[in-house]
C-alpha cells in the first residue's frame, strides 16, 4: 500500500509534471479568451472579465498557500517544485485583473486610474496587494535569494499572508455595495485556516525550554 502511495506521489518529480502544471495554470485564461471571443461573458463582458480574473487570482492564492500544508502533512516534498510557478501565476492573474480594470473600465487613462485608486478604498487595497505581489514575483528567483540573504528573503515572502488579507478586504468592499458576502466568507475562511495552520506549525517547531 505504501509503495502504491509513493508511486502516485512520484508524478510530481517527473519531467512532464511542471509543463503540465503550467498548462493547467493557463486554462482559466484560455477559457476567458474563448468566452470573450464567442460572446460567452454575458450582458456585461467587461465586468465579467474583471470579476473572473479577480476570482482566479484568489483561487491561485489559496492554492499556493495550501501547497506547504499539503507538503508537510502528507510528507510530499516534491510539491515544493511547483511553489514558485504557482506563486507567479498568482501575480500573473492579479496583473491581468488590474490591466482588465485599467483598460475595460478606465480606458487606460492614467490620470483617471490614479484618481480612482485614491478615491475608492477597495481599489486602493487591491492595488497595494498587487504592489506586494510584484515585489514577491521580482524576488522569486534563486539569484534574489542569494542577493538578499535567506532570512530577509523569507521575511519578505511571508508578506504573502498580508496579500491574502488585502485580497479578502478588496473582495469584501467590492461586494459590500450589493450586500453579497457569501463568496467572501468562503475565501476568508480558507485563507484564515491556512494562516492558522502556519501559526500552529511554527509554534510546534519552537524550541522547548
- Nearest to residue 163, comparing CAs of 103, 69, 87? 87
User: In 3-state terms, what secondary structure has residue 169?
Assistant: helix
H or E element: which one contains 108?
none
d(CA 176, CA 153): 36
Q: What are the tens digits of pLDDT across the range 51-88?
A: 999 999 999 999 999 999 998 888 888 888 899 999 99
Query: pTM for the complete prediction?
Result: 0.90
Amino acid at each position: 500500500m505504501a509503495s502504491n502511495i509513493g508511486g502516485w506521489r512520484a508524478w510530481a518529480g517527473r519531467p512532464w509534471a511542471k509543463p503540465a502544471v503550467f498548462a493547467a495554470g493557463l486554462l482559466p485564461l484560455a477559457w476567458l479568451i474563448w468566452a470573450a471571443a464567442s460572446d460567452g461573458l454575458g450582458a456585461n463582458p467587461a465586468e465579467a472579465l474583471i470579476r473572473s480574473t479577480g476570482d482566479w487570482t484568489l483561487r491561485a492564492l489559496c492554492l499556493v498557500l495550501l501547497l506547504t500544508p499539503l507538503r508537510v502533512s502528507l510528507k510530499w516534498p516534491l510539491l515544493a517544485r511547483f511553489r514558485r510557478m504557482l506563486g507567479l501565476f498568482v501575480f500573473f492573474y492579479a496583473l491581468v485583473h488590474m490591466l482588465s480594470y485599467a483598460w475595460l473600465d478606465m480606458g487606460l487613462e492614467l490620470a483617471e486610474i490614479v484618481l480612482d485608486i485614491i478615491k475608492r478604498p477597495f481599489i486602493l487595497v487591491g492595488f497595494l496587494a498587487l504592489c506586494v505581489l510584484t515585489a514577491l514575483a521580482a524576488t522569486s528567483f534563486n539569484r534574489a535569494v542569494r542577493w538578499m540573504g535567506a532570512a530577509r528573503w523569507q521575511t519578505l515572502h511571508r508578506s504573502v499572508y498580508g496579500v491574502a488579507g488585502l485580497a479578502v478586504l478588496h473582495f469584501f468592499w467590492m461586494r459590500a455595495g450589493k450586500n453579497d458576502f457569501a463568496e467572501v466568507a468562503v475565501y476568508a475562511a480558507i485563507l484564515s485556516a491556512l494562516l492558522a495552520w502556519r501559526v500552529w506549525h511554527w509554534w510546534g517547531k519552537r524550541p522547548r525550554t
